[in-house]
Amino acid sequence: MTSYYLEWDLFYFGGLAALAFGAIAIAILSRQISLVVMGLLCIDILVYMVSVRGYGVLYWPDLGFWAYNHTRVFGHLGIALYILTFYFLSRQGEIRLPAANYLAFLAGVHCVLAVVHGFDALISVTWVTPLFNVCTGISVLTASIIMVRRRVRGAQLLLLTNSVLLLRLFANSADYFGLKAPFLGVGQLREWMYSPQVSLIALAINLTLIAAWINEIAVQRNKARNALFLWQEQEQECLKAEVERQTQALNQALQYADEANRKKSEGLGYISHDLRAPLSAILGDAEMLSPTLNTEQKRYARSIVQSVHYQLALIDNLLEYSRNEFESFTLRPLAISLNDLMDATSQFALALSTRQHNQFRYVAVSTLPDAVMLDGRRLQQVLLNLLVNAAKFTQRGQIKLEASAEPHAQGWLLRFAVSDSGVGMSLDTQSRVFNAYTQLHPQHGGVGLGLFIARQIVEAMGGTLNLESAPGEGSRFSFDVVAAAASVQELSPQPTFDMPTASMEWPELELGRSIGFPVLPAHARVELAIHARDGQLSRIEGWLSKMMADYPGYHEFYDEVNAALHTLDFEYIEVLALATEPDAPPIDGVIPAAGDLSPEALYLDGASVPRTDEVVTA
């Protein structure tokens, strides 16, 4: 072997080794099976060409059987790897390879032939090898021609490569088909096809082809990536537009719901207050008739008064719920006499008990403190709501109000309970009884707000309204609140549950309070005080229109009344009606009435309810 051929072989072998190393390195980085197969193909060709050139026998003379058969093993294995390389490249690049399954079958056959030759030709494959070599060459050449016709990028180089492969396979198989005639030039063709120069040219063509295919795959991947990015951008825009649309629709729905709730609450407040006007007239007429009635007639008059108070309690529940919709719930703790509050509450409970012939009992379990800091009006409202509920669902039974107190830190822990022997409630009913507008028995009347409002007030005071009940065994509502201690000197006038009547006195804390702007004459404001106490919204609006025409110079006063009317703050309107200018004499705290009746006429009788276990039969 001359140095001339040796130099060319070294160039060729070096190119194959570099190609194999590069393919395997890229395969490791990209994790692509096609490049792994390509690297194995380059290694196989390198070993095959070393064997064909005679370097294997030269440097390893003791190969024995392998000295003859190893060229066939690596030859068949190289053909199989060649087919598999383009098979995987076409699949990876989404290039449709003609007769791909058939070519894969041929690759499998060559793998089998390589194994057979590797085991000393256990079966005769002398005629199989050239036959499949020629079939393989014709098949890959045909596939490359079809790809050229389909204008697949790089198909021309593939056609050239496959033509060289076919010539080599034909040169190797010509002897098996009897093509030995000198004029055919088979010997010269074989020598020429395996010359170093042709091998280098074939290597360059294969490198160019592989580079073209890799570039095609890269182009397709870039297109796919760009298409994916474009799709993602479009989807993001669509998603953004959909989110904006849904957000806008949700905001509109929320605005609609808020507006509907506001109108509902506002309308509820108007209706509740306007309903009080005729009831106040009925109550006033009953009070006026009372002194002129005999005993039996007074009993009927008391029944009228009871019914009016019961209806007013329902209206107050609606009004309370409406107010809480407009503004946050707030408490106004003052120094109050707990004993006086319980007495007043018990008197009202006694009147409630007569409707269904119940017995009422108030029990002071322990001595109550003389004075505590509490919002007495709210506490009384809770107790009255619980008592009204007990009176509705108890017939010819017992209703009991309990109160106790024990020292707690710097104040008192107050416990209250209202129990009855009525119909009771199941566990399912108990889970719904504190919901707004829940009517468990519509035939008993009401709107289902009493217990809901009671729980809100108790929770605002820092307590929890508890319920114990069972069907047929009555119900027991209880709660604890903590109140700061107060001295008797700090006591404020006892806040009472609103009883719309013209003969009730106003709390002294609010009477005759001086304000910093001019007020209307006293005789003009008395009518406003009466309307505010009765909660007559429409009449207050009418009074404002009339006074603004008759007394146009009191804009600040009218603005204050309008602002209070907008928030349904009738208590503040009462304060304005009874206010005075600086250095002016105070207005009398008693609102003139249609009749001159005492506050005791509000109840069934004027007797106080005892704070013992004595049973009072209503």
* pTM (predicted TM-score): 0.40
Query: Of 2-11, 107-116, 431-440, which has the strongest mean pLDDT?
Result: 107-116
Instruction: Tell me the sheet residues that pair with 336.
Output: 372
pLDDT of residue 29: 63
Q: How many helices (H) and strands (E) does the chain have?
A: 18, 8
Question: Tokens standing for 228?
Answer: 């994916």
pLDDT of residue 413: 95
What percentage of residues in the chain have a pLDDT greater than 90? Answer: 11
Question: Average pLDDT, stretch 266-287?
Answer: 70
150-159 tens-digit pLDDT: 776 656 666 6
Query: Of 374-388, 496-510, 579-593, which has the strongest mean pLDDT?
Result: 374-388
* Between 94 and 306, residue with greater pLDDT: 306
To the nearest 10 degrees (0 to 180), the angle between helices 66-92 and 196-289 is 40
Q: pLDDT band at 401, cuts 50/70/90?
A: very high
Residues near 64 by beta carbon (within 8 Å), at least 6 away in sequence: none
Residues near 596 by beta carbon (within 8 Å), at least 6 away in sequence: 503
- In this predicted structure, which of 62-71, 227-236, 301-310, 529-538 has the lowest mean pLDDT? 62-71
pLDDT of residue 414: 96
427-476 tens-digit pLDDT: 888 888 887 666 665 555 455 667 888 888 899 999 999 999 999 899 99
- In this predicted structure, which of 22-36, 74-88, 216-230, 410-424 has the lowest mean pLDDT? 22-36
- In this predicted structure, which of 53-67, 123-137, 566-580 has the lowest mean pLDDT? 53-67
Cβ contact 375:413 at 8 Å: no
pLDDT of residue 465: 94
Q: pLDDT band at 397, cuts 50/70/90?
A: very high
Residues near 235 by beta carbon (within 8 Å), at least 6 away in sequence: none
- In this predicted structure, which of 57-66, 109-118, 276-285, 463-472 has the lowest mean pLDDT? 57-66
The Cα–Cα gap between 182 and 161 comes to 27
Angle of CA points 536, 539, 540, to nearest 5°: 85
310-335 tens-digit pLDDT: 677 677 766 666 666 545 567 888 89
pLDDT of residue 615: 39
Q: pLDDT band at 37, cuts 50/70/90?
A: confident
Tell whether the torsion through CA atoms of 512, 517, 520 and 526 is positive or negative.
Answer: negative
551-577 tens-digit pLDDT: 888 888 888 888 887 666 777 887 888
Helices (H), 119-195: 128-149, 155-173, 186-193
* Between 213 and 9, residue with greater pLDDT: 9
Cβ contact 170:137 at 8 Å: yes
242-262 tens-digit pLDDT: 998 888 888 888 888 778 777
Task: Kindly tell me if the per-residue pLDDT of 45 is higher than 80.
Answer: no
Residues near 610 by beta carbon (within 8 Å), at least 6 away in sequence: 362, 616
3-state SS assignment for residue 358? coil
CA nearest 266: which of 548, 579, 568?
Answer: 568
3-state SS assignment for residue 607? coil
Which residue shows structure tokens 């009472």? 496
Query: Of 32-36, 337-341, 345-349, 516-520, which has the strongest mean pLDDT?
Result: 337-341
Task: Kindly tell me if the per-residue pLDDT of 180 is higher than 60.
Answer: no
pLDDT of residue 478: 96
Question: Average pLDDT, stretch 115-121?
Answer: 70
pLDDT of residue 184: 43
Give domain limits for the chain: 3-221, 506-592
Residues near 51 by beta carbon (within 8 Å), at least 6 away in sequence: 70, 71, 74
**What end-to-end distance do the CA atoms of the chain give, in Å?**
135
